[in-house]
Structure 1
């Protein structure tokens, strides 16, 4: 199998749409379909079954998907290793960023800095905010952009606020939520507490267990688009609603919107590298301009 075959299997499992992965890989749908047929002939098995709702992976296909994850991880490790060798002469900055911040804001915020520092290599680590905070304290990150208030014993600058939303396929009444299926996703404990507190204030009960935990929030959006389920989450103002979902603000009893803070944090230390100090100064200036 070709390297591109593993990427096709991996992407198809995540999107369940030949149309979408054809667009992602800049190929025609017929080319993707033909390549799947060739793979099935070579491996003497069915990888997917076509249905009106999309593709469904067979047992053999699920096995191949798991192997594709390993293959792509290995490929990434090789590329990272080669990049590290090429960039030994460069200065490195390791930045932690919460997933939604990295997706919607980080690269715009860093654009001018990167252009002014072509010999600086920036590595971005995406994890939950509580994990990023601990990585920073352990010296594994130079700076971090996090959601929620993990700011003890670090310098911190307020970036913005993100509003809480009830996300569903169609608009729903808040009082109907206890009778609907809730999807959970991977987020930090302070965000979970904020959502649970909102639920307690609305219904006077503990928030019920989610019927489904999808890991990444992107998978939650996809699942909501295909069923009568909902998600409680926080989204930035520049969120791209590609599934055309209903976004209803999570309101407090006084009518204000539930929100969480986004922070830029870095350790309190004297012997920081000059390039990291330069980045901190750059971000501080951007915060002043935005403010």
Structure 2
């Protein structure tokens, strides 16, 4: 067994599919299957069983998967400790990033950071904000870019705020919204709750949702083509002057705000690469990126 064999076990377990695992590992399917057979031969046990829906791990395979996680984590911690023994900023920065941040904000930030610290590499997971919080709790990532006010007891830094707003191609009024076609999109539960609560405070009837699309950017494109209105964070449409927007306010007349945060545990700042990145983010204005 070498380090890559432990990684092979982990990826097969996570993907539950040999073909997908091979793609993830940049291996051919026959090569991966052969390597798995060699691992089984070395330990003298069956690690997986194959079915129509993919692979299932045997009890022995489950145990080896647990060992693989522990060994890979130990190797990673060892590397981080060695890299951290001098003052050089080097290593792999593991980030969990919301879809909006990944598309609209992060690439430019990483480019600037990489210019200053060329020996840093990035491992990035793009997911819903709620899942990023889970990754942080499980210590699968160093830092999380999270949209919404989640209950987080670790360290956090406010990156920027934006209004929630009604967006339409032509001018409309709030009073007439129940009679107009609305375009909804998949999003995290906190944003959905903000929108639903605002609607319940203002209307007794439900919205006329004529389209439910996969993501926020798709909703924006539908609005641009005058297929209905959407309710979305303002930064998504800030650069589109030909759209009409109305900021949402609550029952007390205060604007309804969507916040974006950087979440992390204090202990990760002991790593030079993480500490440098957090300092970089804190001294950078993301509102105008």
When normalised by structure 2's length, the TM-score is 0.62
Partner of 2:267: 269
Q: Specify whether residues 210 and 280 from structure 1 end up closer, same or farther in structure 2 by C-alpha distance, changes over 3 A only.
A: same
Higher mean alpha-carbon deviation, 140-149 vs 98-107, is at: 98-107
Matched, 1:187 2:194: no
Partner of 1:108: 108
Partner of 1:135: 135
Q: Specify whether residues 271 and 172 from structure 1 end up closer, same or farther in structure 2 by C-alpha distance, changes over 3 A only.
A: closer
Aligned length: 210
Q: Specify whether residues 230 and 76 from structure 1 end up closer, same or farther in structure 2 by C-alpha distance, changes over 3 A only.
A: farther
Distance 2:24 2:225 in 1: 32
Partner of 2:201: 201
Q: Which structure 2 residues correspond to residues 21-100 of structure 1 after superposition, within 5 A? A: 78=26, 91-100=91-100
**1:156, CA displacement in angstroms?**
0.6
Matched, 1:225 2:224: yes
**1:237, CA displacement in angstroms?**
7.8
Q: Specify whether residues 186 and 74 from structure 1 end up closer, same or farther in structure 2 by C-alpha distance, changes over 3 A only.
A: farther
When normalised by structure 1's length, the TM-score is 0.61
Distance 1:237 1:125 in 2: 21
**1:141, CA displacement in angstroms?**
1.6
Q: Indicate conservation of the 8 Å contact 2:161/2:257, yes or no.
A: yes
In structure 1, runs of 5+ residues without a counterpart are: 1-72, 80-87
Q: Specify whether residues 151 and 285 from structure 1 end up closer, same or farther in structure 2 by C-alpha distance, changes over 3 A only.
A: farther
**1:155, CA displacement in angstroms?**
0.8
Deviations 1:108-157 (A, max 9, x none): 33443211111111233222211111111112221011111124222111
Q: Which structure 2 residues correspond to residues 250-265 of structure 1 after superposition, within 5 A? A: 250-265=248-263
**1:169, CA displacement in angstroms?**
1.9
In structure 2, runs of 5+ residues without a counterpart are: 1-20, 28-78, 84-89
Partner of 2:166: 166
Distance 2:277 2:237 in 1: 24
Q: Indicate conservation of the 8 Å contact 1:161/1:261, yes or no.
A: yes
CA RMSD of aligned residues (A): 3.5
Q: Indicate conservation of the 8 Å contact 1:151/1:265, yes or no.
A: no
